[in-house]
Amino acid sequence: MTIKVALMGNPNVGKTSLFNALTGARQHVANWPGVTVEKREGTVLHKGFRIHVVDLPGIYTFGSKSIDEQIARDYILFEAPDVVVVVADAVNPEQGLYLLMQVLELRADVILVMNAVDELEKSGAQLDRYELEKHLGVHVIPTVATKRQGVSELLNTIVHVFKSKPVHLPVKFRYDEEVEKRINELEEESSSKCENLNVPTRWLAIRLIEGDDVVKWFCDIPFQLNEEEKKRLGLLIAKSRYDHINMIIREAYSGGLSSKRLPLDEAIDHVLTHKYLGIPIFFAIMYLIFSFTFEVAQPLADGIDASIAYLAELVKASLGENWFSSLLADGIISGVGAVLVFTPNIFVMFLGLGVLEETGYLPRAAFVIDRVMYALKLSGRSFMSLILGFGCNVPSILSTRAISDPRERLVTILVSPFVTCSARLPVYILLAGLFFPKHAGSMLFLMYSASIILAALSSVLLNKVLFKGEPVPLIMELPRYRKPTVLGLLNYSWSKGRHFLQKAGTIILAASVAIWFLGSFPPGDIENTFAARLGKFLEPIFKPLGYDWRTTTALIFGMAAKEIMVSTFSTFYSTEGVEFTEAMRNAMDPATALSLMFFVLTYIPCFATIAAIRSETQSSKWTAVSILYGLVIAYGLAYLVKVVIGGWVGT
């Protein structure tokens, strides 16, 4: 028999640790349908029951104001979980209990988990769980999720609550007279206006006052509540809840909960968010993550690359030169290699990101750099992701999982291909060295500057078009600093990295085989392959930019991976007795070469990035938008550069 359990709670209360402790490695990470919000599910067998746990997004209120809240609310309302577990932080219980009180207005089969009781005890305070149970009317389980403490008791209680339901009606918290009067009126109104109501009318009335649009799911006729009334009564409701919570805390806690923040936390924060040191420290940590991702992992990636190449050679050597061995070696093995070569970088990146997230530095980083990103209508959270793009766009897009606001996450994903990755560097170096030998360095600087400006402008533009220019809010909590656990880190990087391999792997593999096919058939003369024919076919489109069919073909291959362009140039421009560089110099003028550099910067980054965008947005529409947007910008910009620079050189 299956028990559906929903896990709710504020962000940073150890909900994910508890989820990991409950389900172990048997978990599945995907997105909630239609949005870029992560959905984690897992199953655990306990006492003959299959307990299926869904980790809902971390929220502060059981409302509808953000997508996270809507997901959590809709899940509780419409997916009918059998048991709801609300996780609160034992050290900072107020906001968790606030959420609990909102949930209790809807249903009674709720379990309250007070997590991190070890930290509470360390601070010298004690928590009387039975006192909490008495006041709240729910089972209370103290846990230490990182040490799996209290987990089996929680599982027992889940089974117990499941078996013994329905026990009682939701506990009724009384508000001020004025509020109660309005609640009664609205309750009466709803019984006439709404048919087949399967939620408590009291809950509905309170949600109405708090300005939730949920009521439209249940009632056809709108209610009359003006803004002023909603605001006034809403504040009264919130105030009564906190008063009640403070009363409960006074009764249930003994010892020094009154002491404010941990002095050590305050000291660390003072340094990490310091007026002068904050930003240098942020960049130093960014640099560490960057070099960790791209340098420490690089030998591993190179090793994989070399092994794949060796394997491909081996296959060719043993099967001989024919189309089958070529399919196997150049198509499939290289395609699998193209996926595998990313794995070290991605897992190492998630490991680094996991450390930042688990220790609690990530929100501090966002805090320190927020002002810059606010100007771009984003928040500090997207900065880290975009920076990673200078190494490779794939980990950059994957790292947006740490961004909690779905709008911001989407914009960051769409913008990140403009951050020029290291694979584009060989193309710049080749072209800049060939056509601007005296100013090659300045040209590289120009490309990196253009990349940053493009990403910045695009994020403002996308925000304006998609979200009417509303800046992403940054109301976040700076959690207590924590020591990361090895298990937690491995879980973090494994569950997130695996998702990429599964989802993006197939697309990359398929695209690699397709490119192999275009480049190898029909066999024989390279100028006669489908790829070359496609290049010739598309040549007229690129005529205004001054690209011939060879360059066009290189751009086609460049969609597989940018560094391939260099070898494509050498293949197609090589003729008897003439270096390909010489041939290229004859085929293009500097203005064309510069426009080509801009084209390479902005058009389709590579299949792996496309695959990452597809798997992270879970939307073909946004993937298509990203591709088209890139192509349009590339063409427009390249044309502009060609005309302006060409004209300027001409005069």
Interface positions, 331-370, toward another protein (CB under 8 A): 363, 367-370
With the CA atoms of 641, 646, 649 and 651 taken in that order, what torsion angle do they form, in degrees rounded to the nearest 10?
-130
List CB contacts of 637: < 8 A, sequence separation 6 or more: 595, 598, 599, 602
Contact status: 192 vs another protein (CB under 8 A)? no
- Shortest approach of another protein to residue 168 CB, angstroms? 26
Interface positions, 370-399, toward another protein (CB under 8 A): 370-372, 374
φ and ψ at 183, to 5 degrees? -60, -45
Contact status: 284 vs another protein (CB under 8 A)? no
Q: Which residue of 47, 165, 181, 231 would you call a contact of another protein, by CB under 8 A?
A: 231
Q: Which residue of 474, 501, 514, 631 would you call a contact of another protein, by CB under 8 A?
A: 474
Q: What is the DSSP letter of 521?
A: -
Whole-angstrom distance, CA of residue 237 vs CA of residue 209: 9
Strand extents, DSSP E, 223-368: 253-254
Binding part of the chain for another protein, among 155-163, 229-237, 381-389, 631-639 by CB under 8 A, reads 229-237
List CB contacts of 496: < 8 A, sequence separation 6 or more: 29, 350, 398, 401
Contact status: 222 vs another protein (CB under 8 A)? no
Contact status: 278 vs another protein (CB under 8 A)? yes
Q: Which residue of 242, 283, 292, 639 would you call a contact of another protein, by CB under 8 A?
A: 242
Interface positions, 15-34, toward another protein (CB under 8 A): none
Contact status: 482 vs another protein (CB under 8 A)? no
Looking at the Cβ atoms of 44 and 478, the one nearer to another protein is 478
- Shortest approach of another protein to residue 265 CB, angstroms? 8
Q: Which residue of 126, 259, 502, 506 would you call a contact of another protein, by CB under 8 A?
A: 259
Q: Which residues of 353-392 are buried (b: 16+ CB within 10 A; e: fewer)?
A: bbbbbbbbbbbbbbbbbbeebeebbbbbbbbbbbbbbbbb
Looking at the Cβ atoms of 476 and 555, the one nearer to another protein is 476
453 burial level (CB within 10 Å; 0-12, 13-18, 19+): exposed
Q: How far is CA 271 from CA 67, 275, 287, 474, 642, in A?
A: 34, 9, 18, 21, 49
Binding part of the chain for another protein, among 63-71, 436-444, 504-512, 563-571 by CB under 8 A, reads 63-71
Looking at the Cβ atoms of 172 and 270, the one nearer to another protein is 270
- Shortest approach of another protein to residue 44 CB, angstroms? 30
Looking at the Cβ atoms of 41 and 94, the one nearer to another protein is 94
Contact status: 270 vs another protein (CB under 8 A)? yes
Q: How far is CA 20 from CA 29, 43, 53, 117, 401, in A?
A: 12, 11, 10, 18, 17
Retrieve residue 234's tokens: 């809403």
Looking at the Cβ atoms of 330 and 370, the one nearer to another protein is 370
Question: ∠ CA 17-150-58 to the nearest 5 degrees?
Answer: 35
Q: Which residue of 234, 426, 484, 646 would you call a contact of another protein, by CB under 8 A?
A: 234
Binding part of the chain for another protein, among 183-191, 476-484, 526-534, 575-583 by CB under 8 A, reads 476-484
Q: 3-state SS string over 353-366?
A: HHHHHHHCHHHHHH
End-to-end CA distance of the chain: give it in Å, rounded.
81
Retrieve residue 584's tokens: 């290229």
Q: Which residue of 121, 477, 539, 563 would you call a contact of another protein, by CB under 8 A?
A: 477
Of 6, 299, 252, the residue nearest 133 (C-alpha): 252
Q: Which residue of 147, 165, 250, 274 would you call a contact of another protein, by CB under 8 A?
A: 274
CB 445 within 8 A of CB 415: no
Contact status: 97 vs another protein (CB under 8 A)? no
Q: How many residues bind another protein (CB under 8 A)?
A: 54
- Shortest approach of another protein to residue 91 CB, angstroms? 7
Q: Which residue of 168, 216, 275, 438 would you call a contact of another protein, by CB under 8 A?
A: 275
Contact status: 216 vs another protein (CB under 8 A)? no
List CB contacts of 368: < 8 A, sequence separation 6 or more: 272, 273, 278, 279, 282, 380
The helix (run of H) or strand (run of E) holding residue 159 is helix 151-164
Contact status: 37 vs another protein (CB under 8 A)? no
For another protein, the binding residues (CB under 8 A) are 59-61, 63, 65-66, 91-92, 94-95, 98-99, 123-124, 210-211, 230-231, 234-235, 238-239, 242, 256, 258-263, 269-270, 273-276, 278-279, 363, 367-372, 374, 471, 473-479
